[in-house]
Structure 1
Amino acid sequence: MKLTILGGGGFRVPLVYGALLQDHAEGRVTHVVLHDLDAGRLSAVARVLAEQAAGVPDAPEVSATTDLDEALRGADFVFSAIRVGGLEGRANDERVALAEGVLGQETVGAGGIAYGLRTVPVAVDIARRVARLAPEAWVINFTNPAGLVTEAMSRHLGDRVIGICDSPVGLGRRIARVLGANPKEAWIDYVGLNHLGWVRGLHVAGRDELPRLLGDPDLLGSFEEGKLFGVDWLRSLGAIPNEYLHYYYFNREAVRAYQQAEKTRGAFLHDQQARFYAEMRNPDAPALKVWDDTRAEREATYMAENRETAGAGERDEDDLSGGYEKVALALMRAIARDERTTLILNVRNRRTLSVLDTDAVIEVPCHVDANGAHPVTVEPLPDHATGLVCAVKAVEREVLSAADSGSQATAVKAFALHPLVDSVNVARRLVEGYTEVHPGLAYLR
């Protein structure tokens, strides 16, 4: 089975390959094709993968190419993890937004809109090529903003594109752990959009254990989200929000923390990864060790500004491993082998949330089998969550419209309608600022 990884020179690709190395069953991935526009980055990641595979007799073969069509032909699965504009683009997203006093995070607020505007045209081109060159392939999308990009691709690939994210997985795992439950045996009632969802229940043997957590202040304050949001706010919500909702509930504090930080997250990662790829140019460098040391630093500093604002302290050691690669592997297994499972995924709504249309991509538990991912019927969201979901989905639709039409006015509308952008004039200046620093937005007129 052939897996093509788009963004194959990306820093987190070894996580995916590491998960593949643990799969020895019949029908596993036997050939991995790395595609990237940067041959140097491809070479660096290929070295890390080669060291990972040492001593594994049935390790998937790895090849690399800068030719997208070549990479896609014959693929059974396509894993998309591209970053249009690179980490320099992410740093610029943050800088332009913070200069206007609004959030520049890569998936939330102004930064997420800017990232989406330059990513959607590229993702749509990829989707069209997949439909032409590998029509039977399944696309697993991890490219951010994941929900928005998945929806853009679904207009050309239908249900054969599925978005994944590690945030809901990590959240469910933390809640189960603090309740003394096995995450694999728990049903997580999670619903929303990507980076905009809530856990409303955690069911073990038919019993919802979340009320026990919400009713115990000490237990509730003992894990990441309790420290991040505060016990009182979680009890008021009656749910555990995705960590990215901290940007909404504590926006002023988050913006101030980012403005006062020595470096934004994007700038930090840009410099850190530049060092990694530079070191990889040394043929004697221990590739896997250098990568692993860099990854540990990256994970430990994740959402550091938010945790500092909340006084949450350092991340727990158990939370320093991603998880998206495990979701991707479980998804591929379920489809390729009909190994039925349940995963929280980004899929078309169908009739899951009545407040959204059938084609809107949402993030919910899905039953997965050889025919793909099927969203599970969920209870309606409370009004406060419904309002936020509908507002952000409306913004995503304006981003898709702007990307399709090239309309600068529609791009301004997308920024202006976002709950975290507080003025139409700010929205206009954001579009001006972003078009100045991003060549990929030259299509907006």
Structure 2
Amino acid sequence: MKKQNLTIVGAGSTYTIGMMMSLVAEKEVFPLKSITFYDTDAKRQEPVAKATEVLLRDKYPELEEFCYTTDKKEAYQGADFVFVQIRTGGLKMRELDEKIPLSNGVVGQETCGPGGFAYGMRSIKDMIEIINDVRKYAPDAWVLNYTNPAAIVAEALKREFPEDKKILNICDMPAAIMVSYAKILGCEIFDLVPEYFGLNHFGWFTKISDKQGNDLTDKIKNSILNQGFIPKDAEILNDPSWIQTFKQVEVMLRDFPQYLPNTYLQYYLYPSKMVEKEDIENTRARQVINGREKRVQKLAKSLISANSTEGHELEADIHGRYMVRVAASIAYNNKETYIVIVPNNGIISNLPKDAMVEVPAQLTNEGPKAFSVGEIPRFQKGLIEGQLAYEQLTVDAYFENSYQLALEALTLNRTIVDAPLARKILDDLIEANKDYFPVLK
């Protein structure tokens, strides 16, 4: 089994150490020759990288090389896989993404509604630059992107690189939900076979089976309705915000019992309720700054100081394990099924062919081979078409530098649906993002 050379872009992320533990946990599945960290912020990357040196020495001694850099050529040359996890503007801009909508009485969330619009408009330029740099130094590398908002990023990359078949956009949220399904069923997530359709952060599980073909969907539904639903992934299981989010699945399932919903649908189906429960002075971004950010910084410092992993709580999470399994299926032609984002091209027959949809696909060394979904019901179709139009108009606005298209996008979004309010929020976002947005005329 060939050992791979992996580059992590955005390596200063608070998720990186968890990703490293996922690579350790899955090293028999996805063996590595080298790992390279790349980040434009050297100060942020360095402590994570130095802590990783300790972790890899103790947990992955067979790894031949580890380095970290801010040099693009050094980062990408020789890479077989590039994992991308950037956050343009950092948590400072994420907090504004959440506060500005909330100050206008609408959902304040990093990937949904106007917050997602702003994050997407910031992300596109950097993502395009990253792909161009990768292709300059590693023309045959696979790029696995999990930068949010994945739907908008995927749409933009499809337009900018229409012939590049080695870019795959992925979200770990369906997998994080499936971890909780697996706990209900008393099995492992990778024992489950999902049937799913939608857009990123906007979809439904239609069926969950085991590998023997037994339909487990009703068992999951009954458990959620009778016993509630809580997160089980290590990264979020003790997080109060995520606990509330998973509880809302029961409400969605009672109101719309046909399919098992993605947790993010709460923002579109119950926008008023989502606004009521938020505190503008303690947004999700602020909770991350005061919580996971400080926790990871403390962990990194402790690993460096101790020069040992002994006595430290280090866990792989589904965020990392899912990415690694996806990469392994591509690298070794395992033909395993994962939920990924791909061009529709008739997969969902009553949605536009050019939509970037999130569906199960068999992952091969030639890329994803998505399974046909067929026609979807009118309710889900109507919701998806509105969300798709918003996402595509957002990307139109970016490429055409169009204020009008941006206004149309936000007016369509279900978290707003009011033109004067959409204009007010757009103007506020433009002012806050003047160092990041293209000039919208």
TM-score of the pair, normalised by structure 1:
0.86
* Structure 1 residues not aligned, in runs of 5+: 297-320
1:116 aligns with 2:120: yes
In 1, Cα distance between the equivalents of 2:352 and 2:431?
A: 35
The question of 1:211 aligning with 2:231 is answered no
Q: Indicate the larger mover: 418-427 or 261-270.
A: 261-270
Are 2:14 and 2:296, in contact at CA under 8 Å, matched by a contact in 1? no
User: Aligned pair 1:238/2:258, yes or no?
Assistant: yes
Greater displacement, 37-46 / 121-130: 121-130
User: 8 Å contact 1:5–1:80 — kept in the other structure?
Assistant: yes
Secondary structure of 1:365's match? strand
| 2:352 maps to 1:353 | no
Shift, 1:137, TM fit: 1.1
Aligned 1:50-61 pairs, distance under 5 A: 50-55=53-58, 56-59=60-63, 61=65
- 2:296 and 2:151 map into 1 onto residues whose CA distance is 29
Instruction: Indicate conservation of the 8 Å contact 1:398/1:413, yes or no.
Output: yes
CA contact 2:195–2:360 (8 Å) conserved in 1: yes
Which residues of 2 match residues 17-416 of structure 1 at below 5 A? Answer: 17-25=20-28, 28-55=31-58, 56-59=60-63, 61-155=65-159, 156=161, 158-204=164-210, 205-214=212-221, 219=226, 221=228, 223=230, 227-230=247-250, 233-234=253-254, 236-258=256-278, 260=279, 262-272=281-291, 275=294, 285-286=305-306, 322-416=317-411
Q: Secondary structure at the match of 1:139?
A: strand
Q: Give the direction of change, closer, same or farther, for the CA distance of 1:27–1:221 in structure 2 (3 Å limit).
A: closer
Which secondary structure does the structure 1 equivalent of 2:13 belong to? coil
Query: Residue 15 and residue 181 in structure 1: after superposition, are their counterparts in 2 closer, same or farther (change >3 A)?
Result: closer
- Specify the alignment match of 1:315 in structure 2: none
Describe the shift of the 1:252–1:220 C-alpha distance in structure 2 as closer, same or farther (beyond 3 A): same
SS in 2 for 1:79: strand
CA apart distance, 1:284:
6.2
Count residues in correspondence.
419
Displacement after TM superposition at 1:353 (Å):
1.0
Matched-pair contact (CA < 8 Å) for 1:214–1:234: no
Which stretch shows the higher mean deviation, 150-159 or 93-102? 150-159
CA separation in 2, counterparts of 1:217 and 1:107?
Answer: 25
**Structure 1 residue aligned with 2:440:** 444
Change (3 A) 1:332 1:36: same
- Aligned to 1:83, what secondary structure does the other structure show? coil
Task: Sort the Cα spacing of 1:284 and 1:352 in 2 relative to 1 into closer, same or farther, 3 A.
Answer: closer
- The structure-2 alpha-carbon separation of the partners of 1:117 and 1:26, relative to structure 1 and needing over 3 Å to count, comes to closer
Instruction: Work out the CA distance in 2 between the residues paired with 1:290 and 1:397.
Output: 49
**Offset from partner CA, 1:329-370 (integer Å, 9 cap, x none):** 111111212222111111222221123333422111110111
SS of structure 1 residue aligned to 2:282 = coil
User: Equivalents in 2 of 1:248, 1:424: separation in Å?
Assistant: 17
CA distance in 2, matches of 1:179, 1:37: 43
What is the alpha-carbon distance in structure 2 between the residues aligned to residue 291 and residue 246 of structure 1? 39
Which moves more between the two structures, 151-160 or 29-38? Answer: 151-160
Return the offset for 1:89: 0.5
Measure, in 2, the Cα distance between the counterparts of 1:415 and 1:290: 50
Distance 1:129 1:356, change over 3 A: farther
Letter in 2 for 1:112: G
Partner letter of residue 251 of structure 1? P
Say which is worse superposed, 273-282 or 367-376, in terms of deviation: 273-282
Cα 1:17/1:352, change in 2 over 3 Å = same
Equivalents in 2 of 1:261, 1:146: separation in Å? Answer: 25
Query: Cα distance, 1:233 vs. partner?
Result: 3.8
SS at match of 1:10: coil
CA shift for structure 1 position 67? 2.3
Structure 1 residue 200, shift from structure 2 partner: 1.2
SS in 1 for 2:287: helix
Structure 1 Cα separation of the partners of residues 310 and 124 of structure 2: 33
Residue 291 of structure 1 deviates from its aligned partner by 13
Q: Percent identity?
A: 29
Letter of the aligned partner of 1:188 in structure 2? P
Q: 1:102 aligns to what SS in structure 2?
A: coil
Shift of 1:276: 5.6
User: Does the 8 Å contact 1:214/1:238 carry over to 2?
Assistant: no
- Distance verdict in 2 for CA 1:21–1:2, change over 3 Å: same
1:159 match: secondary structure: coil
- Cα–Cα, structure 1 residues 426 and 31, in superposed 2: closer, same or farther, change >3 Å? same
Shift of the alpha carbon at 1:28? 2.3
Q: Does the C-alpha gap of structure 1 residues 66 and 284 become closer, same or farther in structure 2, counting only changes over 3 Å? A: closer
Larger deviation: 422-431 or 139-148?
A: 422-431
In 1, are the aligned partners of 2:143 and 2:168 still within 8 Å (CA)?
A: yes
CA distance in 1, matches of 2:282, 2:246: 26
Match of 1:208, SS?
coil
